[in-house]
């Protein structure tokens, strides 16, 4: 999905634009979905791609929504991020290229992964309406 910078600015809030298009990070414990526990799907706020299932969400205590896995592996891509003097793995939406957050190898469950995702890069669709 390709859009011009002006098109992205028209459809995203200023905070969403900074996170999704400029790889920003919302402050911890401020996002809408940090303490959100309703069943359903979390979709990309930029393009609507299904990203994470609420059943895979857990409280990591980090201040950002955390998930053990994506809905489908092909809906997210991981790439090395060496910004801010750190070595991390960035997670992006494969449909629109939007920055979602980072993935770390310290999560629970089979995968052992923690997808640490910015709330403003997501929208939630309740179970039954997805």
Identify whether the C-beta of residue 66 lies closer than 8 Å to the C-beta of residue 106. Answer: no
Q: CA-to-CA distance for 83 and 95, rounded, in angstroms?
A: 23
Identify whether the C-beta of residue 127 lies closer than 8 Å to the C-beta of residue 54. Answer: yes
Q: CA-to-CA distance for 127 and 120, rounded, in angstroms?
A: 20
- Angle at 84 (CA atoms; ends 22, 25), nearest 5 degrees: 40
Q: CA-to-CA distance for 44 and 98, rounded, in angstroms?
A: 8
Which residue among the candidates 44, 93, 96, 116 is catalytic per the annotation? Answer: 116
User: 116 catalytic, yes or no?
Assistant: yes
Instruction: Just list the catalytic residues.
Output: 116
């Amino acid at each position: 999905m390709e859009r011009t910078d002006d098109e992205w600015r028209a459809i995203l809030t200023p905070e969403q634009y900074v996170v999704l298009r400029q790889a920003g990070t919302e402050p911890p414990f401020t996002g809408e979905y940090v303490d959100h526990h309703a069943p359903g799907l979390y979709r990309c706020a930029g393009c609507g791609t299904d990203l994470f299932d609420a059943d895979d969400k857990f409280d990591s205590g980090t201040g950002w929504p955390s998930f053990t896995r994506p809905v489908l592996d092909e809906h997210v891509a991981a790439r090395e991020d060496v910004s801010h003097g750190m070595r991390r793995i960035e997670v992006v939406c494969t449909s629109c290229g939007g920055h979602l957050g980072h993935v770390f190898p310290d999560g629970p469950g089979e995968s052992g992964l923690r997808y640490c995702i910015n709330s403003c890069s997501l929208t939630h669709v309740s179970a039954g309406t997805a």
